[in-house]
Structure 1
């Protein structure tokens, strides 16, 4: 298992990575702020603090490549190019949502952007992404499938079954393990023996690369290599990115008072904020000014405000349409 170092990037690449992370952060902070209004009537799992993984991986993909996300789906959806208006309308349960208001936050998809599905059952996305990769292979396509299992997903049988099958078939799939250390309220050390998560991939004969999950450039470099390998027929890979969610497992609040993690631990990870880290680097290099940041922030905030207004103004699904969008 190797540790990926961040390479030098073109300025435009760095700015694209930064803007994507900032946009995800501002969208989710707006969701957290507005959630108390009681108009979003579905659970929300926020990725605040984890934006680097979704951004670094998805910006290495083509639009026609497919991702399969989890219950914590907002960041993946946005980084892959999903429609923000459709996402927020879905969270508000409106007809203009990406699932017609029937799925909520944990069921986001956008076929045009290559977002195959978001699935809330732990580990369930792994098999779907493996199947998508098999379809690409059978079609003779050079597209790649990517999924984002959390550290708890590796405890599911589907993880091992999928890696075994993908290795045997040399499928074009990348398994991105977002290790945020906790499954709801239970720490990794209470659920698994002490060993690197990447060793699970090695046991199935797959390449495993581990990188800092708060370093978006290192993530992007590792993702580009794994995706290029899969696209060229080199088979599947596992990427392990260690990161940290700032807010509660499910919901808009902070939960450091619950007792499963300490305020000190949270502050240590918060000091490694992926958005602020790249922002400081770009400013130190003279690639981003205070004026640039203000303009970028204002542009994103205007987009977010307009999307919330559109979601609130959109109609709810009609009762007569209850049987629509149902597949058997």
Structure 2
């Protein structure tokens, strides 16, 4: 267990993972009512990745996400109430109801946005990392992407550029085994996405994405290296998503009971709880209190989102162009 983790860090990590899980599980239920517009891609099962990485980040550090971005948003510090309102397409949403699930963002906390373009976060993070380097802030940029995006040219170009310019960047490949419905065993030529790091002259590291502590330790080393001027790292996090590629996906491409088996034996929240409680670091009662508090917070966010007004016709042409004072 990482020696750098304090008791407060452990409580924060658990609260973040539980908030992501509760947020996503509730969206799974609410989406079925037909009240949420557009597409929704859930992050449940992958909580240890976003949390393990983002626990090392400051508000001025930047991350870029994927279409499966809610977990990254929460881990980077976004509030769940305006996030929920955004997903419901309401005016009180963090983006005024105009972004929805796939384009939710909050630059105030360094979240550059979920992204409907597969692999679209790579160039954004190169820009953010270059800005930090030029300003001398020792800030970092983190690009989350999936196994499908690992084959996209812009991700490969971004990794090459990050090494050429020695940018303070971290590329996190969240390999959940499926690019939509296509197994990564079929679509990715090498055994591990991290093996590609050598072609770009950067370290490549593989971790078990069900283990928060493994992710936290590996991410910490990579981020510290980036802050110190050592350049980028490719971190492959092997994990699983519990729901389909999108809400409504029946997952017929997965083996019978595959998800059930993973939930029962490799769930990141279960493993975290077992480890900290057996080591006497946190009491189960403390974690159960967090569970109740988070559940109430999500309930309130859903109620507020449903009651909030929708954008009006007058809002249609706002937020289109940058306005300078």
TM value normalised by structure 1: 0.94
Residue 29 (structure 2) pairs with residue 33 (structure 1): yes
Within 5 Å, which residues of 2 pair with 1:1-328? Answer: 6-8=1-3, 9-251=5-247, 255-256=250-251, 258=252, 260-270=253-263, 271-327=265-321
Alpha-carbon distance in 2 for matches of 1:254, 1:191: 20
2: CA distance between counterparts of 1:167 and 1:239? Answer: 14
Structure 2 runs not aligned, ≥5 long: none
Go from structure 1 to structure 2 and tell me whether the alpha carbon gap of 1:34 and 1:264 turns closer, same or farther (over 3 Å shift): closer
Residue aligned with 1:127, SS: helix
Unaligned runs of 5+ in 1: 1-5
Instruction: Give me the whole-angstrom Cα distance separating, in 2, the residues matched to 1:36 and 1:115.
Output: 28
1:286 Cα shift?
Answer: 2.9
**What SS does structure 1 have at the residue aligned with 2:161?**
helix
Question: How far 1:29 sits from its partner (Å)?
Answer: 0.8
**SS of structure 1 residue aligned to 2:235:** strand
CA–CA distance in structure 1, aligned partners of residues 315 and 258 of structure 2: 48
CA distance in 2, matches of 1:291, 1:135: 44
State the shift of 1:39 in Å: 1.3
Q: Distance in 2 between matches of 1:248 and 1:306?
A: 26
Query: How many aligned positions are there?
Result: 320
Could you tell me how far 1:35 is from its partner in structure 2? 1.4
**CA apart distance, 1:265:** 3.0
CA distance in 2, matches of 1:147, 1:184: 19
Contact 2:146-2:174 within 8 A present in 1 as well: yes
SS at match of 2:277: helix
Q: Distance in 2 between matches of 1:109 and 1:194?
A: 33
Aligned-pair distance for 1:268?
A: 3.5
| Structure 1 residue 45: Cα displacement | 0.5
Deviations along 1:201-236, one digit per CA (max 9) or x if unpaired, are 111101111111111111011111111111111111
Whether contact under 8 Å (1:246, 1:254) holds in the other structure is no
Per the TM alignment, residue 86 of structure 1 is displaced from its structure 2 partner at its CA by 1.3
Tell me the equivalent position of 1:3.
Answer: none
1:254 shift after superposition: 7.1
Preserved contact between residue 65 and residue 72 of structure 2 (Cα < 8 Å): yes
Decide whether aligned partners of structure 1 residues 230 and 290 sit closer, same or farther in structure 2, where only a CA change above 3 A counts. Answer: closer
Asked if the contact 1:83/1:110 (under 8 Å) is kept, the reply is: no
What's the CA shift string for 1:256-299, capped at 9, x where partnerless? 4x1x1102432342220001111112222233334323311111
TM-score by length of 2: 0.94
CA distance in 2, matches of 1:133, 1:40: 35
